[in-house]
Amino acid sequence: MPAITPHITFRGVRASEGLETEIRRHVDKLSTYCPSILACGVRLELNERHHELGNRYRVRITLVVPGDEIVVSHEASLRATARDLDAMRITRLSEPDPERKRAHVALHEAFAIARRQLQDYIRRRRGVKTPSRQARGQVCEISSTERFGYIEATPDGHQVYFQPSAMVRGAFDRLTVGSEVSFVERRGDKGPQASTVKLLHPRRARHARAAAR
């Protein structure tokens, strides 16, 4: 199975080859624990500047897995220890700037949390023989600039929120209003939220509608 290509975003942090390489390395390692990861989003942002103690970074990791979504939001400590830096084995692609190394430490800590949550997910899934039931619906709203959308679920028409990281095979940019999708619904912080969103081929969508009648 090919490695997952993460959707990487930076806020208040200058993107660099070193940071992106570090993120991809961590994601590849997660894939060895769980080859069934469907999508991954990683956001690194500068949360606070401190003149004496250094900058504070926050990392948000979203992992879409069959039947669920794992979300990690971690704020790294201001002071990174030498042991933390050594443990990361920063390569020659990493920046020499000590402040940039703090960003690498934040990533290292956040992905360690993600690994533990992923391992918990795998333990919960052991012995489950049938996949989660997938709902169906149509995309009723989509924002290509703010990167989110809503699905009108059938048959009752309630709306379900989703993000690009919830899409299978990165199909978000191919969606339009009216696109038919299947998805797994769960409760999020702001109401119903979709994971494992799959864009349906027109022929499959017709078959699904016919079977529902």
pLDDT of residue 105: 84
pLDDT at position 85 over 60: no
* Inside any domain, residue 130: no
> Residue 100's pLDDT is what?
67
Using one digit for the tens of pLDDT, what is the confidence trace for 181-200? 999 888 776 678 888 899 98
Identify whether residues 111 and 139 lie together within a single domain.
no
Picking from 24-28, 93-97, 167-171, 175-179, which range would have the lowest pLDDT averaged per residue?
93-97
Structural domain for 148, as ranges: 135-212
Count of Cβ atoms closer than 10 Å to residue 152 Cβ: 16
CATH number at residue 171: 2.40.50.140
138-169 pLDDT, tens per residue? Answer: 999 998 888 899 999 887 788 899 989 888 87
- 24-28, 166-170, 173-177, range with the lowest pLDDT: 166-170
Residues 31 and 115 in one domain: yes
* pTM given for the model: 0.52
Short-list 4, 38, 59, CA closest to 194 = 38
Please tell me the predicted confidence (pLDDT) of residue 140.
Answer: 95
C-alpha torsion 31→43→76→70, nearest 10: -50
In a shared domain, residues 11 and 116 = yes
Residue type, 20: E
